[in-house]
A and B are shown apart, each in its own frame.
Chain A
Amino acid sequence: MASDYFPPFIAAQLNYLITHFPQAVKVEQAWSGSRNYPGVLDRFTLCIPYCLDYIKWDIIYNAEFPLSAPDVVFGPEDEQFHPFRLTGSEGGDEAKPLKMILSDWSYKDPTRLCALIQELRNEYILYQQKRAGAVNDYRLKFEINTMLSREGIEIQVSSGLEKPEEVKFAVPLLDMNINKMVHGCPWRHLQKIQLQVVYPIGKKYTPRLKLISTTELKALFSVEDVKLPTWVDGMCMAEYLPHLEESLQGQIMEAVSSIDVRRHFIEALAPLLGRPLEAEPIFCRKATFLVASGAFTFQAHLSIPTQFPKQQAALMLMSNQHFNSHHAPIRSALLTDYPWSPRWDISQMAERMFDFLLDEAVNFKRYCNEMQL
């Protein structure tokens, strides 16, 4: 209902959580648990990034008892996760922060929920590590023993119908600040690449591997373009990762120097196609030119891929004089099939693009005239 709302003290804690939590947390749904205050939202489901996936926890406040700390209900597959069972003999130093947050709960303090979820997530990491350590698979035991010391690693034991079937690892890669390598970098967050390794339990198959990056990195470098080194039978992560990281580091450095290749290409086009109307100046992936063939004026929109010049740029032409029934200018399809060689030097590439446009202008004008009839 549009009139439903979070009471101010919950709203303050939730807002603080969303803006300050190290990972991007989302609220999936919210509802009211109170018969007496039906429009007051005091329960919600949090989606928390974990191990390149999400875990969902229900946070249960009580609008009728605002002074109390909320309860947290974990997912059905985590029945064995009991971070609140804190006796003097268990947990030791690890249990302390959680115990303090709960015993010292102040509903007026907007930072509390964030601190609680952060501690619970830390506990969850340890819980998953223990679960993985208990799995009856010698290969996995070896991996866990060797990899646990690696900073930032997260593990998830996925449960099958009767017993665990897979163990997933999310391994942060490359201790390099890619943001700092890009001149004028516009990224708000540090870009990261992780390797997802999925081990089947009790089977001898090589693990499934996938590279995953933060979204904004795509402007510079696509992890989908990376050919992963082969996982040789009998290998372990400690052996595999250095090869992968070395290869990735080389590819990222190449991607960074590719920016200037694209930059120079756009600059080389300017004497031939005129000064660009607009060119994307940081990653140099796009540029638009205004050109004329006789009295026919049109725009040439250039998209340059990260794999340029191995992969050629795509062109889209837009007429300034022909419009469809919605009064939108008529445009061409994406043109990628023109003569090209990555071995040409930059000025040759620019000249050949000019030659292509010179010829294509005639075809495009004919196409526009036909579309308008």
Chain B
Amino acid sequence: MEAVEGEGSGPPRYTLNPTRICGEDILFCVDVDAESLMEMKATGANGRPVTRLDSIKQAILLFIHSKLSINPDHRFAFATLSKSASWLRKEFSSDVDSAMSALRSLSATSPSGHADLTHLLRLAAHEAKKSLAQGRIFRVILFYCRSSTKPHYQRSGAQKLFTLDVIYLHDKPGPDNCPQEVYDMLVDALETVSEHEGYILESGQGLTRVLFRQVCVLLAHPQQRSPQDFIDFPKSLAKKLPLSEQTPGAADDSVPSQ
């Protein structure tokens, strides 16, 4: 909603306009297909391997604690995705303990074969109307874990009632998988349904640090977002270069490993 200044090649200058923003109702939808049990490149405290699902649970808790520190008015609910979506915890709440107990009950299923987002999108549209009636906005954050199963959904001419964000964890591209095609489908879904700018972040590196950083990018309030191409956070706190040497940049996901 800001005019692009200069020649339009860089991100617009940030202005904080006196326009009210709403409390968010955020639905986390976690892919619990068998591929969520793929291991990350980290081990837990007792040397046990950490799965994608384990990391997603911790990422969601990081998100909730952070979001509530920003504004205690935001609320959360939980759903899972295997063949289709189903509720894990339907009531929206800002209570951290009940979020923890919902996440504890998340467990993986056997391979589902396909991923249909139709029910998730319908349920989100239905819930979004309730949130809007309370002066709140609705968001879905989808964590998707499958490298070869392209999600599909029935298109409807429905109005855009909520924002959709996606975090996509996948294997490295190879002859037996198609993460790029999966990614393209997720982008398509996001662009079709999302009311405000939805963000999609992906990683095939298996690093928990990257996942945690990505989930924090999603903390950005949909009503105050810039287009994804102009995301300039996390901002590196390096010694400042003179103005002439600075270039605007998008978040760099290819962080060198420590």
Contact = CB atoms under 8 A, between A and B. Distances in A.
B219 interface: yes
A357 interface: yes
A258 B70 CA distance: 21
A323 B231 contact: no
B147 to A, nearest CB: 25
Nearest to A316: B69
B258 A295 contact: yes
Interface in B177-233: 209, 212-213, 216-217, 219-221, 224, 226, 231-233
Contact of B19 (A184, A292, A320, A328): A184
Contacts of B255: 295
A318 B20 CA distance: 26
A291 B58 contact: no
A295 B209 contact: yes
Contact of A277 (B13, B17, B70, B239): B70
Contacts of A316: 69
A112 interface: no
A331 B234 CA distance: 17
Contacts of A282: 18, 20
Most B C-beta atoms less than 10 A away, residue of A266, A270, A320, A331:
A320
B70 A183 contact: no
Contacts of B66: 288, 299, 318, 329
Given A277-B233, A292-B235, A301-B70, A320 B224 contact: no
A64 to B, nearest CB: 41
Report whether over half of chain B's contact residues are helix, strand or loop; otherwise say mixed.
loop
Contact of B226 (A275, A284, A301): A275
Q: How large is the interface on A (under 10, 10 to 19, 20 to 34, 35 or more residues)?
A: 35 or more
Given A281-B16, A289-B235, A276 B213 contact: no
Contacts, number: 131
A17 B235 CA distance: 54
A344 interface: no
B14 A267 contact: yes
Given A184-B20, A272-B240, A297-B212, A278 B224 contact: yes
Contact of A318 (B65, B234, B240): B65
A53 B236 CA distance: 53
15 contacts: A184-B18, A263-B16, A276-B16, A278-B221, A281-B16, A281-B17, A282-B18, A288-B69, A288-B70, A291-B233, A295-B258, A299-B66, A327-B58, A327-B100, A358-B239
Interface of A: 183-184, 186, 259, 263, 266-267, 270-282, 284, 286, 288-293, 295, 297, 299, 301, 316, 318, 320-321, 323, 326-329, 331, 354, 357-358, 361
Interface of B: 11, 13-21, 58, 61-62, 65-66, 69-71, 96, 100, 209, 212-213, 216-217, 219-221, 224, 226, 231-237, 239-240, 255-256, 258
Given A275-B233, A281-B20, 7 more contacts: A277-B221, A278-B71, A279-B224, A282-B18, A293-B236, A354-B237, A358-B239
